Amino acid sequence: MENETSRAILKLDNVTFKYEAQKEPTLKNINLEVQAGEFIVIAGASGSGKSTLGRLISGLIPEAFPGTLTGELYFDGQRINDESIFKRSQKIGTVLQDVNAQFVGLSVAEDIAFALENDEVGETDMHAAVAAWASRLDLGDKLQLAPQQLSGGQKQRTAMAGVLIDESPVLLLDEPLASLDEASGQEMLGLLERLRTEQGITIILIEHRLADVLQYKIDRVVLLDEGEIVQDAPPVEILQEARLPQYGLAEPLYVQLLRAANIELRELSQLTQPQTVLGPQLQQQIEEYLAQLPNHETTQITEPLLTVTDLSFSYDQNQPLFDHLNFSLRKSEIVTLVGKNGSGKSTLINILTGFIENKNVGGTLTLAETDLRTLSIKERAERMGYVIQDPNLMLTQPTVFDEVASGLRLRNVSDSEIAERVVPLLELAGLYSMRNWPTDSLSYGQKKRLSIITILVLNPDILILDEPTAGQDAENANRLMDFVRDLQQSYGLTILLVTHDLGLMSYIADRTVVLVDGQIMADTDPIRLLQQPDVLTHAHLAPTSLDVFLTSHHMVANQQVYRELHKREVAHES
Amino acid sequence: MNHNIFGFHPGTTPIHQLTGTTKLIIFLSLTIFGSLSFDLRYLLLLSVVAIGALFVAKIKWTDVRVLVWLVIVFAILNLILIYVFAPQYGTHLFGSKTVLLGSGAYALTFEQLYYEIIVFTKYLFALPLALIFLMTTNPSEFSAGLNKIGISYRVAYAVALALRYIPDIQVEYQTISKVQQARGYDMSKNTSLWHRLKGAVGIMMPLMFTSLEQIDSVSRAMDLRRFGKRKRRTWYYAQKFKTLDWWAIALTSLLIGIELVLLLTNGSRFWYPFK
């Protein structure tokens, strides 16, 4: 008997899909039912097939990505295997991962209207529909703005309005958190909850940053691994059974703490809520665990290496970005630079590295007694290496070895010395066996490590990394950061990390600098920053779930907890 | 780093307020009629109008500097090449020969000089017109305009998207270029042109790959919102012609009218009073 009350709006029956160019199917025997009005999350590490599953649901497969599809797809009881992408888009609205590419129009209003324009909707109806959806998604006063003027969250909401305007019953989002800072991510998830309750929209979220998602009202988590569904269960069960680390995904930090303290998760109520999770002797057990952790190592204060004094700079003469900014980096310390987008983090780095020309820059920049302003970009790079966020924009050579050797060749270093310097770095990065591969054939994580060693080969004293873990799953992110830490220890490097991830900041940083609207709001150790909620709000940062948990249970975190939990997580992965 | 980037900049000047269709019609008709004319008086008039409009549109020198220098270099090269390949074209055109300097095939004649001045004034009006059009026309309005004068909306949109991505590609080019300079490619003015060219090729590769990827994802995003489903589409920014547009078109018609009158009175496209 069919269940009358809950009908499947979307059903995949034994679906297998193989891309044309590949030997093995990317998705194997997928059986999935989504009920109308559900909020489900499809999760998995990189390469698990979750994006492929998304493309299949959105209709991009097989039209935009040809391949062999077996099994049946149903929408509301109707078979949709051979449906065109245009028809599918009216049933399932899809927001793609890259919001910048998703933004087709030149203003918010035009982008929201795009689908209606293509359906030849008349001007009056179109303007009314745009206004309605814009106000539902808090974009009412942003209609005339261009994409460059929007924050990540606003772009994401514009993209959502642009598909919801079809009044399609299902909304599919592919890794919407990837381009958002933590605070905007939380806002977005709250909005999805609201859309589900108020508009009855079925929501399918593809995401690997599960730790940020689980505290919302999600009905089910579908875990994918190597193209197969390995678990399909409510969030609580997923946490209780420790499924996430098993499949290369990060658990929320407070759950990691509960596990480390040997607490039986099944005995807790409200496990998905860090503020309100409750259990017998919960607090006592956590306190005992915290007490037995080794004492916080006091980091030695070393002499300053880089000093920025009275820095002033403006893009626009009427609006100075920096006005008498002071900033320094000491020898061998790891500093994180945090703050909302557009606060001047990138600008500061571009000034340091010489990417921004001297002439508009005021103040003094000193690196170990050398005036940085007298050095060219090339000379600065020999002392201060900068790894930009997108490794694809850094790799220009045919093979992995050439890529690393390039900086040395351009400095006329002899071939024998090049080999001596390049090989150990390739080994350290785990890329030695691939040294003759074309750089295109590497995975994203490998490209990221490669881009770091191409900079390190010049032996800089300072390494600057922009959002090194962005867009990577937990396992890859941890591997990368451990690699960075090894480098720091073996070369005595000073490291400046730009990041939004306060979890990362909490275990890795000796010091953290908060930059908001061109001003340093705080310069303190990471744990103290977490205890200043007003600074966090100003900087668009969200406290870690561990901090939320401890504060609401009247305990205080120290850096040792973060380091210990990170160590445990890494040990579990290997 | 969205500064000094060449491309559409929003604004409130009367020229910004004209519809995309108006600007397209004016740009095309004046460019075509201007390039047909060899009447120095008329070309100077067009130049004055175009340069005046440049000020009305409040276009900043820093935004267009690079392009203007490029065009100037190209124009000078063009003038030199005309002289190298056809040093007596002017005398042939105007049917007289007044030698100013030198002798033989490369003698500098007044007629040649006059002809080259005419060619130069063509740049003088065409460049400001193109700058105004590119800097003040919102690419979406532009494609709506193209569509309105009868061009397929698919083509119109493709052109608009290309225009739209010009600023993005410039930013990416700058990033890659700076990273490469840090790696050791000296792209500054103290190295040879050959060296700088080699460096530029190194930048083009990643730029091409990322651009191709972007094109891919944009076209997917457009598919998902049914672009190309129907024969026609509507436009959110379908602008209605306002009085200002009619005035602008009237002014353009007047300029074209003047040219037609001049054509008739001269009896040809040329005007040469020095015979």
How far is the alpha carbon of A84 from chain B, nearest alpha carbon, in Å?
A: 10
**A410/B185 Cβ within 8 A:** yes
pLDDT, position A334? 93
Residue of B140, B179, B201 to mutate, testing the A interface (most A Cβ within 10 Å of its Cβ): B179
- Chain B residues touching A58 at Cβ < 8 A: 224
Nearest-by-Cβ selection for B236 from A113, A346, A394: A113
**A104/B221 Cβ within 8 A:** yes
List pLDDT tens digits, range A303-332. Answer: 889 999 999 998 877 778 898 999 999 998
**Higher-pLDDT residue of A354, B237:** A354
The CA distance from B69 to B18, in Å, is: 28
Residue of A360, A378, A390, A454 to mutate, testing the B interface (most B Cβ within 10 Å of its Cβ): A378
**A395/B236 Cβ within 8 A:** no
CB A507 within 8 A of CB A346: no
List pLDDT tens digits, range A117-134. Answer: 999 999 899 999 999 999
Residue of A150, A396, A455 to mutate, testing the B interface (most B Cβ within 10 Å of its Cβ): A396
Superfamily of domain A2-98+169-248: P-loop containing nucleotide triphosphate hydrolases (3.40.50.300)
Mean pLDDT for A112-120 is 93
Burial class (CB in 10 A: 0-12, 13-18, 19+), A345: buried
What is the token pair recorded at A439? 């750089």
In the three-class reduction of DSSP (H, G, I as helix; E, B as strand; rest coil), residue A243 is classed as: helix
pLDDT, position A498? 93
**B179/A118 Cβ within 8 A:** no
- pLDDT band for A574, please (50, 70, 90 cuts): low
How far is the alpha carbon of B203 from chain A, nearest alpha carbon, in Å?
A: 7
Mean pLDDT for A93-106 is 85
Residue A97 DSSP symbol: S
pLDDT, position B187? 67
pLDDT, position A296? 64
Nearest-by-Cβ selection for A106 from B164, B206, B226: B164
- pLDDT band for A209, please (50, 70, 90 cuts): confident
Mean pLDDT over each residue of chain A, to the nearest integer: 90
Residues 6+ apart with CB under 8 A from A304: A328, A329, A330, A331
Q: Which range has the top average pLDDT, A1-10, A217-226, A356-365, A367-376?
A: A217-226
How far is the alpha carbon of A301 from chain B, nearest alpha carbon, in Å?
A: 30
**A411/B184 Cβ within 8 A:** yes
Q: How many CA atoms lie within 13 A of A144 on its CB side?
A: 3
- pLDDT band for A185, please (50, 70, 90 cuts): confident
The CA distance from B180 to B186, in Å, is: 8
Measured in whole angstroms, how far is the alpha carbon of residue A370 from the centre of its chain?
Answer: 36
Closest CA to A391 of B31, B226, B175: B175
- pLDDT band for A1, please (50, 70, 90 cuts): very low
Q: Chain A to chain B, count of Cβ pairs less than 8 Å apart? A: 154
Amino acid at B79: L
- Chain A residues touching B2 at Cβ < 8 A: 148
pLDDT, position B204? 82
Taken as a whole, chain B contains a residue count of: 275
Q: What ranges in B37-138 are assigned the alpha helix state H?
A: 40-56, 61-85, 89-94, 110-136
Burial class (CB in 10 A: 0-12, 13-18, 19+), A3: exposed
**B203/A127 Cβ within 8 A:** no
- Chain B residues touching A439 at Cβ < 8 A: none
Closest CA to A215 of A185, A174, A171, A173: A185
**A110/B237 Cβ within 8 A:** yes
**A148/B2 Cβ within 8 A:** yes
Closest CA to B183 of A234, A355, A77: A355
Nearest-by-Cβ selection for B182 from A60, A105, A377: A377
Residue of B178, B224, B237 to mutate, testing the A interface (most A Cβ within 10 Å of its Cβ): B224
Residue B166 DSSP symbol: H
How far is the alpha carbon of B233 from chain A, nearest alpha carbon, in Å?
A: 5
* Residues facing A43 on adjacent strands: A223
pLDDT, position A43? 94
pLDDT of residue A441 exceeding 70, the answer is yes
pLDDT of residue A2 exceeding 60, the answer is no
- Domain A304-543 in the same topology as domain A2-98+169-248: yes
Residue in chain A closest to B169 (alpha carbons) equals A393
Tell me which of A61-70, A222-231, A540-549, B190-199 is least confident: B190-199
C-alpha dist (Å) from residue B26 to B110, B241, B255? 34, 14, 10
Burial class (CB in 10 A: 0-12, 13-18, 19+), B212: exposed
> In chain B, which stretches have pLDDT less than 50?
1-3
Residue A142 DSSP symbol: G
pLDDT of residue A83 exceeding 70, the answer is yes
- Chain A residues touching B169 at Cβ < 8 A: none
Place of tokens 């070393």: A302
The CA distance from A61 to A69, in Å, is: 9
**B161/A104 Cβ within 8 A:** yes
Residues 6+ apart with CB under 8 A from A527: A506, A557, A558, A559
Nearest-by-Cβ selection for A96 from B209, B221, B234: B221
Q: Judge if the upstream peptide bond of residue A62 is cis by omega within 30 degrees of 0.
A: yes
Domain boundaries, chain A: 2-98+169-248, 304-543
The CA distance from B198 to B202, in Å, is: 7
Residue in chain A closest to B205 (alpha carbons) equals A396
Nearest-by-Cβ selection for A163 from B186, B222, B225: B225
pLDDT, position B232? 87
- Chain B residues touching A121 at Cβ < 8 A: 234
pLDDT of residue A6 exceeding 90, the answer is no
Burial class (CB in 10 A: 0-12, 13-18, 19+), A177: buried
Backbone angles phi, psi at A110, to 5 degrees: -65, -35
List pLDDT tens digits, range B123-172. Answer: 999 999 999 998 888 887 888 888 888 888 888 888 888 877 777 788 88
Nearest-by-Cβ selection for B184 from A148, A386, A407: A407
- Chain A residues touching B142 at Cβ < 8 A: none
pLDDT, position B1? 37
**Higher-pLDDT residue of A98, B253:** B253
Residue in chain A closest to B178 (alpha carbons) equals A355
**B179/A86 Cβ within 8 A:** no
pLDDT, position A328? 93
Nearest-by-Cβ selection for A394 from B138, B179, B214: B179
Mean pLDDT for A95-105 is 84
CATH class of A304-543: alpha beta
The CA distance from A349 to B41, in Å, is: 54
Prediction ipTM score: 0.81
pLDDT of residue A533 exceeding 80, the answer is yes
Ranges of beta strands (E only) in A422-501 are: 462-466, 494-498
Nearest-by-Cβ selection for A89 from B1, B188, B225: B225
How far is the alpha carbon of A255 from chain B, nearest alpha carbon, in Å?
A: 37
**B229/A122 Cβ within 8 A:** no
Q: What ranges in A200-281 are assigned the alpha helix state H?
A: 235-240, 243-246, 253-260
Mean pLDDT for A420-428 is 91
In the three-class reduction of DSSP (H, G, I as helix; E, B as strand; rest coil), residue B113 is classed as: helix
How far is the alpha carbon of A392 from chain B, nearest alpha carbon, in Å?
A: 7
pLDDT, position B2? 42
